[in-house]
Structure 1
Amino acid sequence: MKRIKITENWINMLLEITDRDEVKLLHVSSLPFREETIRSEEEKHAFRLVEIGLSGQDRPEERHGMKYTVTAPGYRMKYVSHEEQRNEDGKKLEIVTKDEATGVYVTSHFQFYDGISVVKCWSQVENRGNDSQGLEYVSSFNLNGIEKEGLLPRDQKMEISVVHNSWQREVQWKSYTLPELGLEQSQPDEKLRSSKEFGITNTGNWSAKAYLPMGSVFNKETNTRMFWQIEHNGSWHWEISDQAGHLYVQLSGPTENQSHWYQQLKAGESFTSVPVAVGVTEGGLEKAVEELTKYRRRIRRRNKDNETLGVIFNDYMNCLWGDPTTEKEIPLIDAAAEVGCEYYCIDAGWYADGGWWDEVGEWLPSKKRFPGGIRKVMDYIRSKGLIPGLWLELEVMGINCKKVKELPDECFFLRHGKRVYDRSRYQLDFRHPMVIRHANEVIDRLVTEYGIGYIKMDYNIEPGIGTEVDAESFGQGLLEHERAYLDWLGSVFEKYPDLIIENCSSGGLRMDYAMLSRYSIQSTSDQEDYRHYATIAANSPLGVTMEQSAIWSYPRIEGDEEETVFNMVNALLMRVHQSGHLAALPPERRDLVKEGLDYYKSIRHDIREAFPFWPMGLSTFGDDWVSLGLKCGKKNYIAVWRRGGNSWAELPIPHLKGKEVKLRCAYPSYERCEYNWNREGGTLRVVIGAPVAARLFEVEMI
């Protein structure tokens, strides 16, 4: 028996190579391993490093249901070699295992990051045998025994958290006990192998349409947490269930059972799984989000946008609603420049004379909407000191787009010999060179002819399980398209490194770090009610770093001063996406917008390095009071929203308890609220008379 012990960045990891040459991943935790937590060799047998399923392989060991346990040949993989090295990120561990019967090898990769308690994991499958093998499943991370620390029964101490996500209802963190999920213990430990798993899955090209690709398991007894994100822009799956007396967690990309993914590996071919990031911490959720925030900043593309945090005006939300014209844009451009915006993006509709939904695809400006040409409007935007931008939905073509007839079927997703429709659009396949040529021509035209520096890249369809073109399964076609899209995106940034491209998919429906390691900014929602948006804004640091998190601020013409302030506070700790009919706002309300943007520019250098905290906990849409704080060294910024209920709230801030602070209402300058700091209790008391209002506070340690 041989052991591989790694202690890196507060991560304790232990692997064992048994006398039978089996590799067991025994432990990944913020706490050290304790031998007594695995009670027998029989239990240890189920602590496999990787689960992999090939077609036509028997699974003789006892299991129940469709869980990814006792996979074949996963259960018979044998140790070949391992290597530890260091690179620019930190320590890297690679472990090679093989299946003698098929000649399939798996290299399990673990990349650590210096100073961050997160490890990136993925699996590389190679067919070194003589026969083709059908790959149906491979885990990117597989750990049994996630409940083994502490003394209490698992039903009393374990909590599983999921981030629900949907259109206009993004980033909703919910936590469940095992009994609430139907995983209540009813068998003796030594026989624990029920047929039910708690699985969270996405199938399709909208990676976050029902859940963000992340999750967490918390041990309330030991105050330890494991958390993860799956870094993929399409189909993915994670599950938690019981096996051999313990609970396991498995993370993967697409699967055959859940997402119609299957790939034939011929002799000499290989497949690399979707990468996942796994972190461990002691302490509450805020510590986990801090580590995840550090990791997200480390892995993303270096770019100026996440350093400068420019202020964007977009003409869509509670404004032009996709009906732009030169006549409508000019006063909005003037107003946006007057209040201090730095980018001006014309949203949907600029390419169509009338209704535009099913005609998108050519991306040529409408002469009817812009009689003097769209370049004239772009020049006017620049003359006002702003950088111009345009909306695109480049991955689709409307069924009535003229260019649809010019492209062969192979440029689109096909199933059963037919083009895939969704909402009167076709899905383009970015594996095809004609699609890449088309996409590059559009980007080049917008940048070189129209002179834009910002693109809002939207995506409003769900083409489903994938395409049959050049693929053994629909899911394989989808996966390869998604990877081709990411490669194309990388080529765009290589050619235009300062071009800002916003990741938008009906708001936040592709909020994942395959996309966000490339894109510098993420649309968080299409939520039209500023009061509901406070919840999405407050929770958004769970899914995306603050400097990438675009939040709408869209004061309404019929609103009042408090409505304007509420809108601004929604965005001031993130990335400001200003909208609304600024030109029609009364002067005193437009002044409040300018005041908010001026203040934002004075603090945005802190936002890009800050970490979030939630004085009142994560928000739900039914909360009367909502709060989000940012920690920036000695300075803290705290947004507070009231949506009814009592006129006062107490905000616990434990990390400032017992400290002398300088406290001020930073925005708006008219204040109209009461506030005080209780040093001994570590609480900020806020009284706001208006039933719907918001304030932004600075709390600086003295």
Structure 2
Amino acid sequence: MDTQTIRWRPGAVELDLDLGVDGPPKVQRLAAVGGGRSAAPSAAIPIAEVHLGGEGSGTSSSERLMGSAVGLRLRTVDHRTWTDGDMAHLEVTARDAMSGILVIARWSSWRDLPVVRCATEVVAGDEPVHLRAVSSVALGGISADGSHWWHDHEVGFAHNTWFRELMWQRRTPAELGLDDTGLRTWGIPSSRASFALGQRGSWSTGGHLPMGILRSRVERRSLLWQIEHNGAWRWELGDQDDALYVVASGPTDQNAAWSRRLGPGERFSSVPATLVLGGDDDEIFGALTDARRRVRRPHVDHENLPVIVNDFMNALMGDPNAENLPPYIDAAARAGAEVYCIDSGWYTDGAAWWNDLGSWQPSSRRFPRGLDQMTRRIRDAGMVAGLWLEPEAVSVASPIAELLPAEAFFQRDGQRVVESGRLQLDFRHPAALAHIDAAVERLIIELGLGYLKFDYNMDVTQGTDLDADSPGDGAFGHQRALLEWVHSLMDRHPGLVIESCASGGQRMDGATLRVHPVQSTSDNQDPLLTAAIAAAAPTAVTPEQGAVWAYPEPSWSDERIVFSLASALLGRVHLAGRIDRLSGAQMRLVQEAIDAYRTTRTRIRTALPFWPLGLPGWHDPVVALGMRDDDGELITVWRRAGSTTVRVPLARHSGRPLVVEAVFPTSLPTSVRWDADAGEIVLELPEEPAARTLRLRGKS
């Protein structure tokens, strides 16, 4: 077969691409510079997998994304490379002669990061086509050359369910159903098996994170992939030609009832995906953290990291009023908060915040002298005033449900979609967007708001088929319109911070994080469980964006209060709990934590995460999270059970003299030392669950 190989060397990665004169173009090799070889080039797969209506796959495995008939028929038309600022780009255009479509695959990379951003664009030819799936990235031969790929690798993926977010798992391919089936004996290139994860509703991370990792057990090499979409997605791992492949995409017909009709000359762009090459977890998540910081919308909040108080969690719980808010606002100011967000319930005259969404008018029963009296009090106390909303939701009993046209809501088969007693606004419709935009503008101006918390407490798996080629495509359009609207709000109000929340961390995806400065990570109400979530949070979100609840209770011991407060000190502080009822001594612990945070946050915004005990397990007795920069390390250690002597290995410093000291708390006893010979921090903690945030630096 005639071939032409493009060797793309943007800086930190090496990509070899076979343009395949008599076959489809394929990535033969992708590696970090100096990172060794991929599997044999024969295991490469086409640069894109595109499924069209009216045809199946090009193999007999129609449930897989890999092996599309279009992918096999692609032939290279052109390729080009260019640079744009600090990024290098490679683009390959290929044509499918049968359908007439052009497929444009793009790869982009920074000179100094082993990270590649990928996307695919489809352009219809002279005839219309019906898209059923378009890959964001398709990469074969990702397992180590010559390995027993079914045993010599581990697949990493993260469960992300409500109250139990960010829990990473490791399995061999064989444990996931991908194994050596003996088919090579018969010359059959694939077992036809695959392991796939995905999400089909509007909670983009409601179940799993849109990420995966393949790690070699025989070489120091890992590949991480991340799909960046605030809706449905799918990734798939399988075997082809005695090696593993990965194909990742946004919504598909199979997993999210998505299809898109393209008329002649029309275009469709896939959701982006990011690939990271490296060794261990610290390396790949460090590089991903750098990349996330580079692609997101710039915001002053990323630099200042103000302390946020929110009165919901383990506190007012959606029942604010003119009597209970003032003491809570005053307590927040005493604690040292810089932002105060009034959470749900401020708009309802009833007892349940859940059932009165949509009008977004302050309740006169709860606030007979106006809600602006409360926001003035917040500002007078030196804090930025904030407010909770659920902008996409309208309760079925709300007058807005009848005032807006039926077309302003998600519909299926001519009926409005009802989920959890709510209707879903469709931001593609001008009436829906005009309603929520006017409501938010009114609140910002009348109440003097500088912070908004956008929550989303339902998972609409039905999509909408109104003015759409498919239910999944209607949802896809809404999801893109949602983020465009959030962009426009912050364009109009420079400095406005809009937090993303979806029952905690059920929309913790790359597309959302490119727009929102702050991201909620969980709704978990137990500090012992929250510790594992806080320790794993930087796998999904940059530390300076990841908000973690700290909710001290007056009935708790000092150590339990410290345990909860410590969970937020290497991320974003979401202070809650009954801070209005704390004793003077308990409030001083809170103030101490906030003072400590002010000394560390200037480092958090640029530091890279690491996990000296590995990524946390849900029931691990001890979990730890570190932040590393040029000045040393910050480490939080949570002991939930087990020995009161905790040893935290830092092999990279073995044999070196270091100073280790407590950042928080300093008012409680902390026995800690550095064992240089063992390369370990040795920490003595009390019998009850306890946590400490430590600082390490070299001896001067």
- TM-score, normalisation: structure 2: 0.97
Deviation readout 1:331-389 (Å, 9 max, x if unpaired): 11111111110011110000001123222100000011111100111111111111111
**Correspondence for 2:49 among 27, 41, 51:** 51
Q: 1:319 aligned to 2:315? A: yes
Q: Give 3-state SS (helix, strand or coil) of 1:326's partner.
A: coil
Q: Distance in 1 between matches of 2:20 and 2:419?
A: 52
Give ranges in structure 1 of 5+ residues lacking alignment.
none
Deviation readout 1:225-273 (Å, 9 max, x if unpaired): 1101110000000000112332110010011111110111111111111
Q: Distance in 2 between matches of 1:564 and 1:37?
A: 51
Q: 1:132 aligned to 2:134? A: no
What are the equivalent positions in structure 2 for 1:34-433 lying under 5 Å apart?
37-38=39-40, 43=42, 47-57=45-55, 59=57, 61-129=58-126, 131-149=127-145, 151-189=146-184, 190-281=187-278, 283-354=279-350, 355-433=352-430
Partner amino acid for 1:136?
A: R
Q: 1:687 aligned to 2:656? A: no
Residues 417 and 592 (structure 1), Cα distance of their counterparts in 2 relative to 1, 3 Å cut = same
What are the equivalent positions in structure 2 for 1:430-449 lying under 5 Å apart?
430-449=427-446
Partner amino acid for 1:183?
A: L
RMSD: 1.5
Q: Quick check: 2:12–2:111 contact (8 Å CA) kept in 1?
A: no
Q: Give 3-state SS (helix, strand or coil) of 2:567's partner.
A: helix
Q: Quick check: 1:30–1:224 contact (8 Å CA) kept in 2?
A: no
Q: Quick check: 2:405–2:431 contact (8 Å CA) kept in 1?
A: no
Q: Give 3-state SS (helix, strand or coil) of 2:203's partner.
A: coil
Deviation readout 1:285-315 (Å, 9 max, x if unpaired): 1100000000000000100001000000000
Shift of 1:103: 1.4
Residues 2 and 34 (structure 1), Cα distance of their counterparts in 2 relative to 1, 3 Å cut = farther
Partner amino acid for 1:153?
A: H
Q: Quick check: 1:658–1:680 contact (8 Å CA) kept in 2?
A: yes
Q: Distance in 1 between matches of 2:517 and 2:631?
A: 27
Q: Distance in 2 between matches of 1:577 and 1:357?
A: 22
Q: 1:25 aligned to 2:18? A: no
**Correspondence for 2:669 among 648, 653, 672:** 672
What are the equivalent positions in structure 2 for 1:261-660 lying under 5 Å apart?
261-281=258-278, 283-354=279-350, 355-660=352-657
Shift of 1:698: 0.8
Q: Give 3-state SS (helix, strand or coil) of 2:555's partner.
A: coil
Q: Quick check: 2:349–2:365 contact (8 Å CA) kept in 1?
A: yes
Q: How many residue pairs were aligned?
A: 694
Q: Distance in 2 between matches of 1:74 and 1:47?
A: 8
Partner amino acid for 1:496?
A: H
Q: Distance in 1 between matches of 2:494 and 2:275?
A: 30
Residues 438 and 687 (structure 1), Cα distance of their counterparts in 2 relative to 1, 3 Å cut = same
Q: Distance in 2 between matches of 1:70 and 1:289?
A: 30
Q: Distance in 2 between matches of 1:31 and 1:115?
A: 10
Q: Distance in 2 between matches of 1:570 and 1:148?
A: 38
Shift of 1:6: 1.4
Partner amino acid for 2:178?
A: L
Shift of 1:474: 0.5
Shift of 1:21: 5.6
Deviation readout 1:568-603 (Å, 9 max, x if unpaired): 101111100001111210110100000110111111
Q: Quick check: 1:63–1:69 contact (8 Å CA) kept in 2?
A: no
Give the stretch that moved more between structures: 352-361 or 375-384. 352-361
Q: Quick check: 1:192–1:246 contact (8 Å CA) kept in 2?
A: no
Shift of 1:673: 3.1
Q: Distance in 2 between matches of 1:34 and 1:513?
A: 29
Shift of 1:32: 6.4
Q: Distance in 1 between matches of 2:576 and 2:263?
A: 53
Give the stretch that moved more between structures: 447-456 or 110-119. 110-119
Partner amino acid for 1:462?
A: D
Partner amino acid for 1:187?
A: G
Shift of 1:393: 0.1
Partner amino acid for 1:54?
A: L
Q: Give 3-state SS (helix, strand or coil) of 2:481's partner.
A: helix
Give the stretch that moved more between structures: 285-294 or 552-561. 552-561
Q: Give 3-state SS (helix, strand or coil) of 2:164's partner.
A: coil
Q: Quick check: 1:63–1:193 contact (8 Å CA) kept in 2?
A: no
Q: Distance in 2 between matches of 1:73 and 1:29?
A: 27
Partner amino acid for 1:52?
A: V
Partner amino acid for 2:148?
A: P
Q: Quick check: 2:135–2:247 contact (8 Å CA) kept in 1?
A: yes
- TM-score, normalisation: structure 1: 0.97
Q: Give 3-state SS (helix, strand or coil) of 1:165's partner.
A: strand
Residues 558 and 671 (structure 1), Cα distance of their counterparts in 2 relative to 1, 3 Å cut = closer
Q: Give 3-state SS (helix, strand or coil) of 1:191's partner.
A: coil
Q: Distance in 1 between matches of 2:259 and 2:438?
A: 33
Q: Distance in 2 between matches of 1:116 and 1:34?
A: 17
Residues 34 and 645 (structure 1), Cα distance of their counterparts in 2 relative to 1, 3 Å cut = closer
Q: Distance in 2 between matches of 1:441 and 1:18?
A: 54
Q: Quick check: 2:26–2:45 contact (8 Å CA) kept in 1?
A: yes
Partner amino acid for 1:285?
A: D
Q: Quick check: 1:57–1:73 contact (8 Å CA) kept in 2?
A: no
Q: Distance in 2 between matches of 1:69 and 1:614?
A: 34
Q: Give 3-state SS (helix, strand or coil) of 1:447's partner.
A: helix
Give the stretch that moved more between structures: 48-57 or 198-207. 48-57
Partner amino acid for 1:22?
A: P
Residues 269 and 689 (structure 1), Cα distance of their counterparts in 2 relative to 1, 3 Å cut = same
Deviation readout 1:535-587 (Å, 9 max, x if unpaired): 00001010101000101110012112111111110111110000111121011
Q: Quick check: 1:412–1:429 contact (8 Å CA) kept in 2?
A: yes
